[in-house]
Every structure is written in C-alpha cells, then in structure tokens.
Chains A and B, each alone.
Chain A
Amino acid sequence: MSVMLLSGAVLIAQILLVLAMGCAAWRVLWGPRAQDRVLALDALYVNAAMLLLVFGIRSGSTHYFEAALLIALLGFVATAALSKFLMRGEVIE
C-alpha cells in the first residue's frame, strides 16, 4: 500500500519536474534577451537539483544528494559569473 502510494507520488513528481525543466529550457532557447536566458538557466539548475533529490528517494540511496548539492553549487557560480559578464563585459577584472 505505502509502496504503491510512494511510487505513484514519485512518478507524478518526476513528470511535473520534467515539465518544469521543459518550460525553463523553452525560455533558454527562445528568450528574447540575454538576461532572460540566464534567469531561465538558473531555474533549470534548481529544477535539476530537485529532480535528482526525487531520483534519490526513488532509488533509496543517498548518493544522489551529493549530485544535487553539486548542481546547486554550480548553478550559483554560473549565474553569478554570467550576470557579472552581462554587467561589465568580463568576468574577472
């Protein structure tokens, strides 16, 4: 009973998160300006971290947690560097 409930919830959550990543990817590809693409990339990173956490619940192993932490870290660095680039034209001054 609880296995069925949990696997159904995990499946629906995965589908919703993949749809969310699709919306963010649409904005990355067709965003009218550069700042829209960077914003959508940030949203895509966070959605990918959530999807990895749901994968971790599905497989019952804690290894996916480290991948999610790494993606959150890289998303922060990427968005900070890209917005610095949009502001100044170079990343490291």
Chain B
Amino acid sequence: MNDLPLWAAIPVALLLLFGSALALIGSIGLVNLRSFYARVHAPTLGTTLGIGSILLASMLYFSVLQTRFVLHEILIAVFIVLSTPVTLMLLTRAALYRDQREGSSEVPAVLPSDPPEKEVP
C-alpha cells in the first residue's frame, strides 16, 4: 500500500466503502426478495452506482499515485452501463416466455384473442 496524501485517501476510502456496501445490499436483495421479477431489480444497484463508485475510487487512486490522469477505468464503466440493461432485458423476456408457457399464475397469461406480435424488420 503506497502513501497517498490525506486529501486523496479520504475520498478513495469513502468511495470504496460506499461501492462495496451497495454491492452487498444488492446481493442481499437477490437472496431475500420473493419472486424472480422482484429479484431482477436487486443486483442492478451494484452494477450501476456500486461499480461506478469503485471505478471512481480506482481512477482517483492511480491518478494521484502516478501524478498523471489514469482514466482507462472509464472503459469498464461504459461497457457495464451498456451491457447490463441489454442482458437483463433478454433474461426477463426469456423468463416471461417460460412462465407464460407453463401457465404460471404469477404472470398475465397470453389471451387467445390477442393479435400476434408483429415481426420487427
């Protein structure tokens, strides 16, 4: 562990604790919540603000340590922000499809009078 000036060490420590606490809260929600559609919301707490603040702490730490701007952590932030909604939407659509096929009472059933979905070109 290298020596950092105190004005940089305090925000780095606070951001680390904040980010990891958010990740833990999200994962506890993943265990505690009742249904799958409620559980989908919980880990997004860690994948947005949690990883964002840890990346910010890492950027600040290495920028002060090497006395130059170290900004390559933005790459992870952009990637996670782009990919998480896409994958969770895919997963939720798959889960909804599976529940509807089983006729689960948890989701609204597909009515036979519903018009079929149009193919998106």
B97 close to A (CB within 8 Å): yes
Query: Do A62 and B70 have beta carbons less than 8 Å apart?
Result: yes
Query: Do A69 and B76 have beta carbons less than 8 Å apart?
Result: yes
As a 0/1 sequence over residues 1 to 35 of chain B, the CB contacts with chain A under 8 angstroms (1 = contact) are 11111101110111011011101101110110000
A67 CB to nearest chain B CB (Å): 11
Number of A-B contacts (CB under 8 A): 183
- Minimum CB distance partner of A47 in chain B: B23
A20 CB to nearest chain B CB (Å): 4
The interface on chain B, measured as residues whose beta carbon lies within 8 A of the other chain's beta carbons, has a size of 59
Tell whether A6 pairs with B1 under 8 Å between CB atoms, given A26-B31, A40-B30, A83-B91. yes
For the residues of B in contact with A, the DSSP-based class is: helix
As a 0/1 sequence over residues 64 to 75 of chain A, the CB contacts with chain B under 8 angstroms (1 = contact) are 010011001101
Find chain B residues with CB under 8 A from A84 CB.
90, 94
Find chain B residues with CB under 8 A from A3 CB.
1-4
Query: Do B97 and A87 have beta carbons less than 8 Å apart?
Result: yes
Query: Do B36 and A20 have beta carbons less than 8 Å apart?
Result: no
Query: Do A79 and B87 have beta carbons less than 8 Å apart?
Result: yes
Query: Do A23 and B98 have beta carbons less than 8 Å apart?
Result: no
Beyond A23-B24, A50-B50, list 10 extra A-B contacts (CB 8 Å): A3-B2, A6-B1, A16-B17, A20-B24, A20-B28, A23-B30, A39-B40, A42-B87, A46-B43, A72-B83
Contact residues of A with B, CB < 8 Å?
1-3, 5-10, 12-14, 16-17, 19-24, 26-27, 33-36, 38-40, 42-43, 46-47, 49-50, 53-54, 56-58, 60, 62, 65, 68-69, 72-73, 75-76, 79-80, 82-84, 86-87
